C-alpha cells in the first residue's frame, strides 16, 4: 500500500513518485491549494493538492483531521522561503496526484495541540498513542530492550521464560490471585517476581539466566509504580555480589551511551547506614550535594534534651542542613518549610542564620539563639562548615523522623535553591542493608526478601544477633530512583530454614509454601546471585518523563483500573459459582 514512510522522505527523493499511508494531521485551505500535514509513525510530511487537478482537489475538500488516507504523488523541493527547519521533511513536499480515503474519523475527544487531562488520555489511550511524545518513548523503550538482549546474549546469558500462573507465597506485597476451574477452591498467583524460579534454574545448572518479564503487585500506586510492571531479571551461578554489580554497571553504561550519548562515570558505593545518615534515604539523589550533618554530640547536654522535648528512652537524633547564601530567606518561607516537614511527623524546624562569623565576632539570627552559647555555636559552625550568608535548618526528634524529615527537606531545598544539578546523572550502589527490619511488636521481616544471604555467610551472627546481621544485598539508585535491587541468594538449606524461622514463618507454612525450594536446596545448589532492574523506570529516566504511564503503552490509573477497557469488571454469577467464589455482602 505504500513505498515510503512519511518521515523518511528527504531531498534525495526529489522528482521521485512515492506512495504514502497515514493520517491527516493538519489541513490548510488556500483556495488554489490545499496543504495537508500527513502523519505516520515516523513523522510528518506536507502534501499539496492543486486546484488544477480538479478531481483530486474536490476529494481533498472532504478531508478532516485524523482521516486515514493513502496518497500517491511526486516529491518536490520547497522554495527557500517555504522550508520548515522544525521537521525532518521540511525541505520537501509531496505534490499529490492520487488520494484514497481509507477511513473517516469522528472529531477526536483529545486535542494534540493542548494538554489533555489524564482521565481522557487513559480512556482514549489508542488516540493518545498517536502523539509523537508517547510514540517516541515507546521507540526508545524498544531500543533499550534490544540493547539488553544483545548485551546479555554476548555475555552468554540464556533468555528463559518462567511461569505466569504460580504459587502464592508471603513475599511482601499482596498477590494478584487467579482462581482455578480445574482445581476447585484453589488459586494461582501472578508472580511478584520470578525469584524462586530463577533460583530453581541455577540449581538446574543453567548457570546464566535473564528475562525481560512482566511482574504483578497489588499495592498502592504512585507516579513511578504500576500494578503490572516489567523488570530485567538476571541470575548467575558462581558469581559474587561484586561481579553482578560489575556486569550491571556495564549494561547500564552501555544503555546510557547508546540512547542519550552520555558516558556514566564509575558508580560509587555507599552503605545503607551511611546513606540514611547523610541523605535521610536509601534512595539518595546525589545530584544534590547537600548532606545531613549530625550535631547530637554537640547538643548532648540535658538542657538541650529538655529544650527539644526529647524522650531519653527513645533513639533520638539532632541534625541539620547547611544551605549556602540563603540568609535572605523570609520568615514566611521558613514557616512553609516548617509545615512541610510536619508531613513527616517532625514537630518543629529550627534555624540559624549566619550573618557574620570571624575570630572576634559572631552574629546570627536564630530561633534557638537563647540556648546557644559561643562555644556551642562555634562547634556547630565548624562542623557544618557554615560561612557568612548561610542558613542552618535543624531538627531534633526520633532518629527515623529526623532522617525522613531532613531527607525530604533536603530534596525540596535542592530544587528551590537550584542546588540540584538537574541535567546530570548520579548513579550509586547502596550496599550492606540490614538483614531484617523489626516492627513495633518486635517481629522481624526481611528487608529485601527471605532468600537473601547474610554477609560473609555469618550464620552465627544470624542466629545470635539477627537484628545486627547485614545482608549481602545491593540496590542501584540513579538520581533518587531505585532502578534495581538484588542480592547473593541463600544456597544452604539450613540457613534458609533459619531465616524463615527468624521472620516467623511456621514450619508447617515453610513446608506448604516453600517445600519445593527447601528440597531443591538439598541437591547440590550452587552459590548464586542476581538482580532485577525496573525497565519502566529506566525508560522513564532516559525519556525525561514525569510519570511512568508515559513509557507504557496501556498503563493503569493510580487506582489500578484500565479506563479504556473498563477493567476490573463484574463477572457473571454463573462463572463465579463454577470457580467456587462467593462475595460477602459486607465489604471488609
217 annotated among ligand-binding-site residues:
yes
534 is in an annotated binding site: yes
535 assigned to a ligand binding site: yes
Residue of 478, 499, 479, 502 lying closest to 487 (CA atoms): 499
Count each helix (H run) and each strand (E run) in the chain, helices first.
16, 22
467 annotated as ligand-binding:
no
Q: In what order do the strands lie in the sheet with 427-431?
A: 158-159, 208-216, 228-237, 528-534, 481-488, 473-478, 427-431, 269-271
Neighbour tally for 327: CB within 10 Å: 17
Alpha helices by DSSP H, listed for 465-549, are: 493-502, 507-520, 535-542
Does 537 carry a binding-site annotation?
A: yes
The verdict on whether residue 472 carries a ligand-binding annotation is: no
Write 501-508 long-range contacts (CB < 8 A, 24+). Answer: 502/436, 502/444, 502/462, 502/466, 503/436, 503/443, 503/444, 503/445, 503/446, 503/450, 504/443, 504/444, 505/170, 505/450
Distance between CA atoms of residues 292 and 383, nearest Å: 11
Here the cell at position 434 is 540490614
Q: Is 416 annotated as a binding residue?
A: no
Distance in angstroms (rounded) separating the CA atoms of residues 394 and 538: 35
Who's near 573: CB < 8 A, 6+ residues apart? Answer: none
226 is in an annotated binding site: yes
Q: Find, among 279, 225, 248, 190, the residue nearest to 484 by Cα.
A: 248
Provide the Cα torsion 126, 128, 130, 131; round to 10°.
Answer: -170
DSSP 419: -
Is the link from the previous residue into 568 a cis peptide, with omega within 30 of 0? Answer: yes
Q: What is each CA distance from 162 to 147, 178, 191, 361, 573, in whole angstroms?
A: 21, 17, 10, 70, 32
Distances (CA, A) of 129 to 42, 174, 542, 554: 13, 31, 19, 9
Report whether 73 belongs to an annotated binding site: no
Cα 202 versus chain centre, distance: 28
Is 489 labelled a binding residue?
yes
Report yes or no: 422 and 462 within 8 Å, Cβ to Cβ: no
**Is 235 among the annotated ligand-binding positions?**
no
Helix (H) or strand (E) holding 481: strand 481-488
Q: What would you report as the CA-atom Rg of the chain, rounded to the nearest whole angstrom?
A: 30
331 appears as a binding residue in the annotation: no
Per DSSP (E only), the strands in 16-167 are: 17-29, 33-40, 43-50, 68-77, 92-103, 158-159
Per the annotation, binding residues for L-aspartate are: 171, 217, 448, 489
Per the annotation, binding residues are: 171, 217-219, 226, 448, 482, 489, 534-537
Per the annotation, binding residues for ATP are: 217-219, 226, 482, 534-537
Amino acid at each position: 500500500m505504500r513505498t515510503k514512510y512519511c518521515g523518511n522522505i528527504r531531498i534525495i527523493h526529489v522528482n521521485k513518485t512515492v506512495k504514502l499511508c497515514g493520517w491527516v494531521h493538519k489541513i490548510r485551505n488556500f483556495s488554489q491549494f490545499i496543504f495537508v500535514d500527513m502523519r505516520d509513525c515516523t513523522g510528518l510530511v506536507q502534501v499539496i493538492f492543486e486546484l488544477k487537478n480538479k478531481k483530486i482537489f474536490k476529494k481533498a475538500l472532504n478531508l478532516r483531521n485524523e482521516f486515514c488516507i493513502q496518497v500517491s504523488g511526486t516529491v518536490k523541493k520547497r522554495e527557500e522561503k517555504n522550508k520548515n527547519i522544525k521537521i525532518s521533511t521540511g525541505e520537501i513536499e509531496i505534490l499529490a496526484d492520487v488520494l484514497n480515503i481509507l477511513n473517516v474519523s469522528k472529531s477526536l475527544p483529545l486535542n494534540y495541540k493542548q494538554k489533555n487531562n489524564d482521565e481522557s488520555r487513559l480512556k482514549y489511550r489508542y488516540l493518545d498513542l498517536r502523539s509523537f511524545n508517547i510514540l517516541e518513548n515507546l521507540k526508545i523503550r524498544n531500543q533499550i530492550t534490544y540493547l539488553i538482549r544483545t548485551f546479555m546474549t554476548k555475555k552468554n546469558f540464556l533468555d528463559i521464560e518462567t511461569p505466569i500462573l504460580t504459587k502464592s507465597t508471603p513475599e511482601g506485597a499482596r498477590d494478584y490471585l487467579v482462581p482455578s476451574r480445574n482445581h476447585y477452591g484453589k488459586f494461582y498467583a501472578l508472580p511478584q517476581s520470578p525469584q524462586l524460579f530463577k533460583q530453581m534454574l541455577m540449581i538446574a545448572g543453567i548457570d546464566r539466566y535473564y528475562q525481560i518479564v512482566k511482574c504483578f503487585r497489588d499495592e498502592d500506586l504512585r507516579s513511578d509504580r504500576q500494578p503490572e510492571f516489567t523488570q530485567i531479571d538476571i541470575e548467575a551461578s558462581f558469581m559474587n555480589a561484586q561481579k553482578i554489580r560489575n556486569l550491571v554497571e556495564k549494561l547500564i553504561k552501555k544503555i546510557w551511551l547508546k540512547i542519550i550519548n552520555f558516558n556514566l562515570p564509575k558508580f560509587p558505593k555507599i552503605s545503607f547506614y551511611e546513606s540514611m545518615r547523610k541523605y535521610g534515604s536509601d534512595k539518595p539523589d546525589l545530584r544534590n550535594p547537600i548532606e545531613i550533618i549530625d550535631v547530637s554530640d554537640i547538643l548532648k547536654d540535658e538542657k538541650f534534651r529538655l529544650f527539644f522535648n526529647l524522650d531519653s528512652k527513645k533513639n533520638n537524633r539532632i541534625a541539620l542542613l547547611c544551605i549556602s547564601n540563603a540568609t535572605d530567606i523570609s520568615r514566611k518561607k521558613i514557616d512553609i518549610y516548617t509545615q512541610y516537614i510536619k508531613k513527616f511527623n517532625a514537630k518543629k524546624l529550627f534555624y540559624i542564620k549566619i550573618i557574620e562569623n570571624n575570630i572576634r565576632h559572631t552574629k546570627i539570627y536564630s530561633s534557638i539563639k537563647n540556648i546557644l552559647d559561643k562555644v556551642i555555636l562555634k562547634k556547630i559552625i565548624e562542623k557544618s562548615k557554615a560561612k557568612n550568608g548561610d542558613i542552618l535548618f535543624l531538627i531534633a526528634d526520633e532518629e527515623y523522623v529526623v532522617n525522613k524529615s531532613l531527607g525530604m527537606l533536603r530534596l525540596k531545598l535542592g530544587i528551590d535553591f537550584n542546588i540540584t544539578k538537574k541535567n546530570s546523572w548520579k548513579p550509586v550502589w547502596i550496599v550492606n542493608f540490614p538483614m531484617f527490619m523489626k516492627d513495633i511488636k518486635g517481629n522481624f521481616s526481611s528487608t529485601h526478601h527471605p532468600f537473601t544471604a547474610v554477609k560473609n555467610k555469618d550464620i552465627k551472627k544470624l542466629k545470635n544477633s539477627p537484628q545486627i546481621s547485614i545482608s549481602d544485598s545491593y540496590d542501584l539508585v540513579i538520581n533518587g530512583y531505585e532502578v534495581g535491587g538484588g542480592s547473593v541468594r541463600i544456597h544452604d538449606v539450613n540457613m534458609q530454614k533459619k531465616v524463615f524461622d527468624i521472620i516467623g514463618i511456621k514450619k508447617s507454612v515453610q513446608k506448604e509454601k516453600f517445600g519445593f525450594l527447601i528440597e531443591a536446596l538439598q541437591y547440590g545448589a550452587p552459590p548464586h546471585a542476581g538482580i532485577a532492574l525496573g525497565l519502566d523506570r529506566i525508560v522513564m529516566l532516559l525519556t525525561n518523563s514525569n510519570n511512568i504511564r508515559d513509557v507504557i503503552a496501556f498503563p493503569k490509573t493510580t487506582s489500578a483500573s484500565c479506563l479504556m477497557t473498563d477493567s476490573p469488571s463484574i463477572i457473571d454469577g454463573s462463572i463465579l459459582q463454577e470457580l467456587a467464589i462467593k462475595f460477602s455482602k459486607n465489604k471488609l
